[in-house]
Amino acid sequence: MSAISTGQATVLGIVEGITEFLPVSSTGHLKITEGLMHIPVDDKAVVAFTAVIQVGAIAAVFVYFFKDIVRFTRALLRGIANREERYHHDYKFAWWVIYATIPIVAVGLAAKPLIEGPLASLWVVAGSLIVGSAVMWAADQMGRHKRGEDDTSFKDAMLVGCSQILALLFPGFSRSGATMSTGLILDLDRVAATRLSFFLGLPALTGAGVYELKDAVGGGAPVMPLVVGTAVSFVVAYASIAWLLKFVAKHSFNAFVLYRIVIGVLLFGLLGMGVLDA
């Protein structure tokens, strides 16, 4: 692969941090950015590099939701030690996050050649951006927004967790967009759907970053750009998380839907004119 420079890593870190948790597809934006910088989007080391810098963004979730994560972890440990504690919602929720991660891990390992090969195409990204926009708009219209985080169930967690597979297979669909949309369809309010999306993303994204680290380094990616990209994504993602939670408390997802459509159509145009290489 063409070595990713520190400057390019900084740009990719900013893009990752802004888009990882917004329902606009971080993978899609990273691939578009890589294409504009003439970085081969289907190179295994490049795919690994983008997975690793996601760890910076996911670390921001750990820091931002530290108190919640400690609460769930304590509830899990108490429940393991004491049967009576297993009736508490926090104990159940901790296990639901673990169970809901299994499907995406299984599909990710089984479909890895496709994910890193044909499905990494920018044509797929463009189409997924637009199709995902339609799903998000429909979900926002259908949802009754009447259930909070304390009302979530095992079924909710599993359905939202499984929806992450759409973003895994179709870069551009957006993991956040898929999970938030599923939460809205299940009648969760926007804040509850957004928080559930964050928590369910913790194991999957962390695991993917750690798993891909060997390919990123062993595949020719210098260590310094990895460190810089990861650090930048952490700082930017933390600010992005804070902004998103405030935004969804008062607004619909229509702004994200419109933005995704514009980017998708623009990407189709750039690919069709040969400005970008798919």
Question: What SS3 state is found at 39?
Answer: coil
Task: Give per-10-residue mean pLDDT for the chain (278 aa).
Answer: 81 94 88 85 75 87 95 95 92 95 92 85 92 95 90 95 93 92 95 93 82 64 85 97 94 94 93 83
The answer to whether residue 11 sits within a structural domain is yes
Q: Does some domain include residue 255? A: yes
Both tokens assigned to 241: 């998380």
Report yes or no on 278 lying in a domain: no
Residue 76 is classified by DSSP as H
Per the structure, how many domains does the chain have?
Answer: 1
Please give the single-letter amino acid code of residue 147. R
For residue 197, give its domain range: 6-272
Residue 243 included in any domain: yes
Give the tens place of pLDDT for each residue, 242-266. Answer: 999 999 999 999 999 999 999 999 9
In a domain, residue 68? The reply is: yes
Is residue 194 included in any domain, yes or no? yes
Q: Is the dihedral of CA 120, 121, 124, 130 positive or negative?
A: positive
The letter for the amino acid at 38 is H
The model's pTM: 0.86
- Residues 151 and 173 sit within 8 Å (Cβ to Cβ): no
- 277 located within any domain: no
Mind listing the pLDDT tens digit for each residue in 18-49?
A: 998 999 988 788 888 988 888 877 677 777 78
Residue 1 lies in a domain: no
